[in-house]
């Protein structure tokens, strides 16, 4: 048999970490379990009336969909059962969540999640995702976790990854030693290694951003857009626009094929839209681990020191040469 499941892979890799006592492996297993449950819910969402608005509004002032809540609760459940995590920060909760499992207080890790990314695509059967990141706690195990535990810069990450619920469900993660991708085989209910050691191309064709906001972009970014489109010259350029509106799906395509993903500052939102802890840090970590670049435009995303849980930052990430080109214009 030539398949390697996520569980087998994680155990094999445990020896890469001399300090590892198996907690991180168990935590990654728990995240895999939560992801499979969310994948199941996503796949039958059209049948079970969990599409649509939930009627409440999340802390960002956006409508919360039912699947967002299911995703959030599934993660809390899995992490409380596992007991490796003392606290969690989630896009769906105003404040840090202290986990209440039997062993949670002694957990060495904290987790930040965007349980459901791309919620505007849920109702229309378009790819959505989950994003997660794992840090070692700063406070003493056994004590109550505090805000400092979740407000850590990306350069302190232990692991991060995402799940994309697309034509298949895929989990992609890194512990800082490269990036590996696993595809869910529904017939055996396991994530199987399908994309070992992912490296993103240094160049690509795809640029991904919401051009509907162009009226609010900086002059530099609009000049870049004119450049990629070739409207500054008679000759056309080899670039193509792709934008799904689910960061996970847009990022995943660009990671594999080469491309640049941009969520820039706009006149209305000078820090862009995407959240530092839940979206930008974990995806930047994966981008870098695959050989790409991720910047806010002024600094490396992973070096930003978070000051609040729901902080937003602009982001330009993906193929190294494409990111550099955007920066030249900006
Ligand atoms: P979420 O569904 O977790 O709120 O995230 C949506 C995000 C991200 O997935 C996507 O890249 C971006 O919002 C799209 O925003 P615009 O509609 O402004 O382009
Ligand atoms: Mn999101
Ligand atoms: Mn979300």
Q: Residue 206: which region, alpha, beta or left (left: phi > 0; alpha: psi -120 to 50)?
A: beta
Higher per-residue confidence, 63 vs 59:
59
Of residues 302, 296, 290, the one with CA closest to residue 316: 296
Residue range 130-148: mean pLDDT, rounded: 97
Q: Please give the pLDDT value at position 235.
A: 59
For residue 23, the CA-to-ligand 1 centroid distance in Å is 32
Ligand 1 atom nearest to CA at 261: 11
Best residue among 116, 118, 315 to mutate for probing ligand 1's pocket (most ligand atoms within 8 Å of CB) is 118
Nearest ligand to the CA of 248 is 1
For residue 84, the CA-to-ligand 3 centroid distance in Å is 23
For residue 236, the CA-to-ligand 3 centroid distance in Å is 37
Q: Name the residue ranges covered by the structural domains of the chain.
A: 6-195, 206-329
List the residue whose alpha carbon is closest to atom 17 of ligand 1. Answer: 245
pLDDT reading at 267 higher than 60: yes
For residue 136, the CA-to-ligand 2 centroid distance in Å is 23
The CATH number that domain 206-329 falls under is 3.40.190.80
Chain centroid to CA 267: 25
Strands 293-295 and 63-65: unpaired
Structure confidence by residue, pLDDT tens digits, 170-225: 999 999 999 999 999 999 999 999 999 999 999 999 999 999 999 999 999 999 99
Q: Please give the pLDDT value at position 66.
A: 84
Tell me which fold the domain 6-195 belongs to: Fructose-1,6-Bisphosphatase; Chain A, domain 1 (3.30.540)
Q: Please give the pLDDT value at position 50.
A: 63
Q: Pick from 8-12, 58-62, 144-148 the range whose average pLDDT is largest.
A: 144-148
User: Max alpha carbon distance in the chain (Å)?
Assistant: 67
Separation between Cα atoms, residue 299 and residue 246, nearest integer Å: 24
For residue 80, the CA-to-ligand 1 centroid distance in Å is 28
Q: Are 112 and 150 in contact (CB under 8 A)?
A: yes
For residue 34, the CA-to-ligand 1 centroid distance in Å is 22
pLDDT reading at 45 higher than 90: no
Ligand 1 atom nearest to CA at 120: 2
Q: Which residues line ligand 1 (CB under 6 A)?
A: 62, 91, 114, 117-119, 210, 245-247, 273
Q: Please give the pLDDT value at position 238.
A: 85
Best residue among 259, 279, 280, 318 to mutate for probing ligand 1's pocket (most ligand atoms within 8 Å of CB) is 279
List the residue whose alpha carbon is closest to atom 12 of ligand 1. Answer: 245
Of residues 14, 23, 37, the one with CA closest to residue 191: 37
- Indicate the average pLDDT of the chain: 93
Separation between Cα atoms, residue 119 and residue 131, nearest integer Å: 13
Nearest ligand to the CA of 249 is 1
Residue range 219-245: mean pLDDT, rounded: 86
């Amino acid at each position: 048999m030539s398949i390697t499941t996520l569980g087998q892979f994680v155990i094999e890799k445990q020896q890469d970490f001399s300090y590892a006592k198996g907690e991180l492996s168990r935590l990654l297993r728990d995240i895999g379990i939560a992801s499979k449950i969310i994948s199941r819910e996503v796949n039958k969402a059209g049948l079970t009336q969990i599409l649509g608005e939930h009627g409440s509004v999340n802390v960002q002032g956006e409508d919360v969909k039912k699947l967002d809540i299911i995703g959030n609760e599934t993660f809390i459940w899995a992490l409380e059962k596992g007991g490796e995590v003392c606290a969690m920060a989630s896009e769906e909760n105003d404040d840090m969540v202290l986990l209440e499992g039997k062993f949670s207080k002694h957990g060495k890790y904290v987790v930040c999640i965007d349980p459901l990314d791309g919620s505007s695509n849920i109702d229309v059967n378009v790819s959505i995702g989950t994003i997660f990141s794992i840090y070692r706690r700063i406070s003493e195990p056994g004590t109550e976790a505090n805000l400092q535990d979740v407000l850590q810069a990306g350069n302190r990450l232990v692991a991060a990854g995402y799940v994309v619920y697309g034509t298949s469900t895929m989990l992609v993660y890194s512990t800082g030693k490269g990036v590996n991708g696993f595809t869910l085989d529904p017939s055996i209910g396991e994530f199987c290694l399908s994309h070992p050691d992912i490296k993103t191309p240094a160049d690509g064709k795809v640029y991904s951003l919401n051009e509907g906001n162009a009226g609010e972009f900086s002059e530099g970014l609009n000049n870049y857009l004119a450049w990629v489109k070739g409207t500054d010259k008679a000759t056309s350029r080899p670039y193509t626009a792709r934008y799904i509106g689910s960061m996970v799906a847009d990022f995943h395509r660009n990671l594999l094929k080469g491309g640049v993903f941009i969520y820039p500052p706009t006149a209305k939102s000078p820090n862009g839209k995407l959240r530092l802890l839940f979206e930008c840090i974990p995806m930047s970590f994966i981008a870098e681990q695959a050989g790409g670049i991720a910047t806010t435009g002024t600094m490396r995303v992973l070096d930003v020191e978070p000051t609040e849980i729901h902080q937003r930052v602009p982001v330009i990430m993906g193929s190294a040469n494409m990111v550099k080109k955007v920066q030249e214009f900006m």
